[in-house]
Amino acid sequence: MDKPWKFFVDYVSTPIGTAVVACDEEGSLRLFDWSDHEERWQPMLRARYGDVELAEKRDPFGLTSAIASYMNGEVNIIDALPVAFAGTPFQNKVWQALRTIPAGKTLSYGILAKQIGDPKAVRAVGLANGANPIGVIVPCHRVIGSDGSLTGYGGGLERKRWLLAHEARHAGTDLFGKGVSR
């Protein structure tokens, strides 16, 4: 029998709720979600990894501190945080592409599908975006509708709106990624 995955779990208070962070023993993020969605993230971890041991650990590998810094305005700090994906090859491709969207910018599902080389896969991109287990750090919130509307976000549209406004304010752009003079 394989030994269980061991993930370190910590919580960080943010202006939009308490977030839960889980990383592996090497320090790669495996999960970022909201503590009020425990019924979603705990089964999801087990579905992706099988037998999982969750051990609470304060600020594992400095990840919680980095996320707190992001919430306090250092919006580019999350770009360097290590992540590890456990999705399908297509999901992993979408999630990697999400990490290339700069803070303060947004793009549509259609543009994201084109960027990964599969312009007809708009719905599949949307499904992969929605299945992202490392929200905020793998910034699925930066994907919007082709008409500029704020579309679904697992943490809720109010959180998505706050994240986009927060990043725009600290990256010097407006809500939809256009430069703002300072």
pLDDT tens-digit map of 13-66: 999 999 999 999 999 999 999 998 888 888 888 889 999 999 999 999 999 999
Q: Are strands 143-144 and 107-108 parallel, antiparallel or unpaired?
A: parallel
Domains recognised in the chain with CATH numbers:
5-80 (3.30.160), 89-171 (1.10.10.10)
Instruction: Check pLDDT > 70 for residue 178.
Output: no
The confidence score (pLDDT) of residue 112 equals 96
DSSP 97-130: HHTTSPTT--EEHHHHHHHTT-TT-HHHHHHHHH
The confidence score (pLDDT) of residue 163 equals 96
Residue type, 63: L
Query: Which is nearest to 45 in space by CA: 23, 62, 25?
Result: 23
Class of residue 162 by CB neighbours under 10 A (exposed 0-12, middle 13-18, buried 19+): middle
- Tokens 């992969």 correspond to what residue? 128
Instruction: Check if the beta carbon of residue 87 is closer than 8 Å to that of residue 41.
Output: no
pTM summary value: 0.90
Reported confidence tier of residue 2, pLDDT bands at 50, 70, 90: confident
Reported confidence tier of residue 176, pLDDT bands at 50, 70, 90: low
Structure-block tokens of residue 12: 């960080």
pLDDT tens-digit map of 133-170: 999 999 999 999 888 888 878 888 999 999 999 999 99
Residue 48, phi then psi, degrees to nearest 5: -80, -35
The answer to whether residue 23 is catalytic is: no
Instruction: Check pLDDT > 80 for residue 182.
Output: no
The confidence score (pLDDT) of residue 177 equals 53
Instruction: Check if the beta carbon of residue 34 is closer than 8 Å to that of residue 137.
Output: no
Task: Name the catalytic one among 71, 97, 121, 140.
Answer: 140
Instruction: Check pLDDT > 80 for residue 72.
Output: yes
Query: Which is nearest to 85 in space by CA: 151, 140, 38, 37?
Result: 140
Average pLDDT of every residue of the chain = 91
